[in-house]
Structure 1
Amino acid sequence: MASMTTRRAAAPVLFFFLLLLVASEMGTTRVAEARHCVSQSHKFVGACMRKSNCQHVCQTEGFPSGECRHHGGILRKCFCTKSC
């Protein structure tokens, strides 16, 4: 008889913790990622071969970063990036 009473007492506690777990999952917040704006460098000349060169030129143009990307053709161009 004692085991039956223990099970009945444990059921509401188990239900409470299950409800608490579900509620905590529903209440999680999502962090929005920052959007990145991209602009082709106006000062970089030639094919972009090294990311470090592109970054340096982009920094002189007021951008925090830059990267080499293909843009329609075979040659890679320097594109400057920043959060917008």
Structure 2
Amino acid sequence: MESSHKLFQAIAILLLLLVATEVVPAQARECETERERFNGLCFVSANCAGVCGAEGFTGGKCSGLKRSCMCTKEC
């Protein structure tokens, strides 16, 4: 009875480790670059994303107190 209890505990721990490693997928880092070509203050992130997309970035968003257009891409 004692050996079956230890076997059950060992299996439970292995399953928990397996699930824990599968639950947290690896995420790519995202780098930001301020766009110099974006004129004026950035209030609409969709406009910023459009400018960034035309320059080869994957996205863009308005950011900071200066409301700068920050282009994003995977590092």
Partner residue, 1:3: none
Partner residue, 1:81: 72
Partner residue, 1:13: 4
Deviations 1:20-58 (A, max 9, x none): 111233344353221111101132111000011001010
For structure 2, the 5+ residue unaligned runs are none
Partner residue, 1:6: none
Give runs of aligned pairs for residues 5-84 of structure 1, distance below 5 A: 9=1, 11-27=2-18, 28-29=20-21, 31-70=25-64, 74-84=65-75
Identity of aligned residues (%): 33
Q: Which amino acid aligns with 1:68?
A: C
For structure 1, the 5+ residue unaligned runs are 1-8
- The Cα RMSD (Å) is 1.7
Take 1:81 and 1:21, find their aligned partners in 2: how far apart are those partners?
42
Q: Which amino acid aligns with 1:58?
A: C
Q: Which protein is bigger by CA-based radius of gyration?
A: 1
Take 1:26 and 1:56, find their aligned partners in 2: how far apart are those partners?
43
Alignment partner of 1:48: what SS? coil
Aligned length in residues: 72
